[in-house]
Chain A
Amino acid sequence: MAFRLDHIAFGFPGRRVFTDLSLILETGHFYGIIGPNGCGKTTLLDLMARLRQPSAGQIRFGEQELTAIAKKKLARQIALVPQNFYINFPFTAHEVVMMGRYPHIPRFSAPSSEDTRTVQAVMESTDTEQFSDRLITELSGGERQRVVFARALAQNTPVMILDEATSNMDINHALNLLSLTADRVNKKGTTVIAVFQDINLAAMFCDQLIFMKDGCISAQGPTNSVFSADTVASIFHVKAMVRFEPFVDANQALFHPGGLAE
């Protein structure tokens, strides 16, 4: 078991996000979280990455309570690709990816040859090696997102949390990075928890889907059994047709441009 959230409550001043949310995530799955804007997807990820503390309830990570784990140690367990990232200073792409190794490198030490090799391999596989020496401030939004994704891969953690991590990428790179991530799930037993806007993209890579609405989990289960027209209609209020698509080997949805589901 990777995560166990027990009766979590959380809110911002003047706005409750979760009143009583419970969720169990098992190790070695690719979880996709789907839901309308403002339903608490990012907040849920923030809680699991310990960027925020729940006001009530308990979050367990593995055998331990999440808050009991030292920050440095947690950074070797969980990598994050945040939704919004701004990089204000002109680091090179290579320097940014190397930052993913920092949790593994003692404070005053230089990167080991293993760190250098890891960064090199990740940059090659993510197709970011071509702008290795370019300044992150000069890259396009999609290129920058690939560098930040590469940084999370270089962190080489058993858990990865992705918050719309491919939203700015072209389809080629989005598929490539998600395949790399899915490979880690299949080969190394990595646990991935990813928020998606594109439900069809999520269905292609995630073996488990979690549908959220108004701070509650409304459906959770294996992708092809939980991803149905009814679920999509009840979550997003749109008319959809969902069918198994052999070409991508997963359920896929088509949306009706007109009417909202009643």
Chain B
Amino acid sequence: MKHQLKNPHAVSIVKTATGIQLLAMTVILGAVVVISTGMGYIQIPWSDVIRIFYAKISGNIQSINTLDQILPVIIMDVRLPRILTAAAVGGGLAMSGTVFQGILLNPLADPYTLGVSAGAAFGASLAFILNLQIMSTLSVPLLAFLGSTLTLFAVIYLSSTHEGISSNNLILSGIIVAAILSAAISFLKYIADEQVAVIIFWLLGSFASKTWTDAGLTAATAIAGCGVFLFFARDLNLLSMGHKSAASLGVDVKKVPLVLLVTASLVSAVCVSVSGIIGFVGLLVPHMMRLVTGPDNRRLIPVSMLAGAVLMLSADTITRAVLPHEIPIGVLTALIGGPFFCYIFRKKQHQGKGF
């Protein structure tokens, strides 16, 4: 603790450390993608996976003629869309969690605190009940997305005062609206008859049978969101000094939190509408990564995104390829993430750092 930051190279050391962390996370993500693509009912060696990736990207199909012709189909049409969707959703949820915790100045905030998940769940349940024939495959994600965004705006409306939005009001409004919506979901389940199993399965979250459309949509959303978050990352640092300090350092304290809040909610709404409710990733990853990168959002946000992608993909691969029966991923993340969160929480208490 007595070490002093005397040398002017300290800044460049920090920059290098950030570069190494980002590079390491990117390499790990790449490795996890390759390894989990090879895993499953039909095991494919990772060298063949890389050959197939390379052949598909370069367009040089000749180079994989020696391999079983079913393998490229399994990889490109079955496994990769699911894998990329899982990674994008994990990254999106972790990144939004980081931003929610930063804006709401509350370490318990995650993409679901503001009722985003309850809104999505209500929308999806409604879609199953009404059994909408129009745009049959899209009706569930579309209504889930509508549900979560409408909920978000209701929550923001409820909590806004003449002085802008306060984090306590937001969390309180989020909890109230989520409570109302979960009662409504219970009612929908009650009247659902044979649809009730479908609703429950969706609520537990799953990446089974995801398509390239899902993967593209979530990845594009996550990347766009990451761009917005990084643009405002420095302002987000200042906001954690309190609104008065942030304003005196040039941050627009009415506009910036709102832009970040809406962006983070839209990113998580897209994630939820594609995958169902998957808890704990958005809560846990920012806490874990803050121990590695420190609280500076310019480092924390990109590292959290990559870590969330790695974690979600690993969890999905466990349910898909390791466990004898596939269990819903939302159950798995809660069963692993919950106790692990308790562990980190307890450890931080012992160090006297609180949150």
Q: Which of A30-56 contact B (CB under 8 A)?
A: 46, 49-51
Q: Which of B15, B240, B248 is A88 in contact with, Cβ under 8 Å?
A: B240
Interface residue SS majority, chain B: loop
Min CB–CB distance A233 → chain B (angstroms): 33
Min CB–CB distance B298 → chain A (angstroms): 9
Q: Is B343 an interface residue (CB 8 A)?
A: no
Residues of B near A132 (CB, < 8 A) are 4-5
Interface residue SS majority, chain A: mixed
Are A80 and B245 interface neighbours, CB within 8 A? yes
Check A90/B241 contact, CB under 8 A, given A13-B162, A134-B1. Answer: no
A-contacting residues of B (Cβ < 8 Å)? 1, 3-6, 8, 11-12, 15, 102, 105, 107, 162, 231, 234, 237-238, 240-245, 247-252, 290, 294-296, 352-355
Are B244 and A102 interface neighbours, CB within 8 A? no
Q: Which of A74, A92, A113, A129 is B250 in contact with, Cβ under 8 Å?
A: A74
Are B244 and A80 interface neighbours, CB within 8 A? yes
The number of inter-chain residue pairs (CB within 8 angstroms) is 102
Q: Which of A230-246 contact B (CB under 8 A)?
A: none
Sample of 4 further A-B pairs with CB below 8 A, known A95-B296, A117-B8, A138-B353: A71-B250, A86-B242, A91-B237, A99-B241
B-contacting residues of A (Cβ < 8 Å)? 13, 46, 49-51, 71-72, 74-76, 78-80, 82, 84-92, 94-96, 99-100, 102-103, 107, 110-111, 113, 116-117, 120, 129-135, 137-138, 148, 151, 155, 161
Nearest neighbor of A52 in chain B, beta-carbon distance: B163
Q: How far is the CA of A163 from the CA of B318 in the complex (A)?
A: 56
Are A129 and B4 interface neighbours, CB within 8 A? yes
Are A87 and B250 interface neighbours, CB within 8 A? no
Are A110 and B250 interface neighbours, CB within 8 A? no
Min CB–CB distance A92 → chain B (angstroms): 8
Are B245 and A89 interface neighbours, CB within 8 A? no
Are B15 and A110 interface neighbours, CB within 8 A? yes
Q: How far is the CA of A227 from the CA of B6 in the complex (A)?
A: 44
